[in-house]
Amino acid sequence: MDDADVALRNLTYRLFVEYGRAPAVDEVAMVAGLTIHAGIEGWRRLADAHAIVLQDGTTTELRMANPFSAVRTPYRVHAGGRWWWANCAWDAFGICAALHVDGKIVSTCPDCGEVIEVGVSDRRPDDDALVFHCLVNAAHWWDDIVFT
């Protein structure tokens, strides 16, 4: 990833947080001073480098800027005065970590469907009874990142 692509990646993340939603490629390109084509090509290279994830079959729509999700998921996070979607449980805590704030995660247990709410304060969860399960081993996380 060259310096220009790192800058595009960092701008994409900054706009995600500023807007409170996934930015569109034309929005990022405009702020970066790039053509839309150059923005699309940059996002393609970032996706190839696993720095972002694009929606299946598109080159212009974000799916993930981990830990943030551009689409609805079972993991909602309240942090920094806004609600966000996280890609998974790991990313849900990651949103508090990335924003450097306390927060609250709301989800449901995949087994029983009961609502799970857990607060994060000073980098610690407020419910120690919960557990996290990672089904896929690290060597295969990016084989299918949406499933992972």
Partner 1 sequence: MNLFRSEEHVSRWLDGRPPGATLTVASLCELAHAWWGDRLDPGWRPHTRAQNQALLDSVGLTGEFWKLP
Minimum Å distance from CB 101 to partner 1?
11
Would you call 136 helix, strand, or coil by DSSP?
Answer: coil
Contact pattern for partner 1 over residues 57 through 96, marking x by CB under 8 A = ---------xx------xx------------xxxxxxxxx
**Tokens 């692509």, residue located:** 5
**16-55 residues near partner 1, rule: CB under 8 A:** 17, 49, 51
Q: How far is CA 29 from CA 11, 26, 39, in A?
A: 9, 5, 5
Q: What is the largest CA-CA distance in the chain?
A: 50
Residues 19/28, Cβ–Cβ less than 8 Å: no
User: Is 112 an interacting residue with respect to partner 1 (CB under 8 A)?
Assistant: yes
For residues 37 and 110, which CB has a smaller minimum distance to partner 1 in the complex?
110
Considering only 4, 14, 35, 146, the residue that binds partner 1 (CB under 8 A) is 14
Residues 79/95, Cβ–Cβ less than 8 Å: yes
For strand 82-86 and strand 62-65, is the pairing parallel, antiparallel, or unpaired?
Answer: unpaired
The first and second tokens of residue 53, run together, are 């994830």
For residues 36 and 74, which CB has a smaller minimum distance to partner 1 in the complex?
74
For residues 35 and 134, which CB has a smaller minimum distance to partner 1 in the complex?
134
The first and second tokens of residue 34, run together, are 């790039």
Q: Please report, as ranges, the residues that interact with partner 1 according to CB under 8 A.
A: 1, 6, 9-10, 13-14, 17, 49, 51, 66-67, 74-75, 88-100, 105, 107, 109-112, 114, 116, 118, 120, 123-125, 127-140, 142, 148
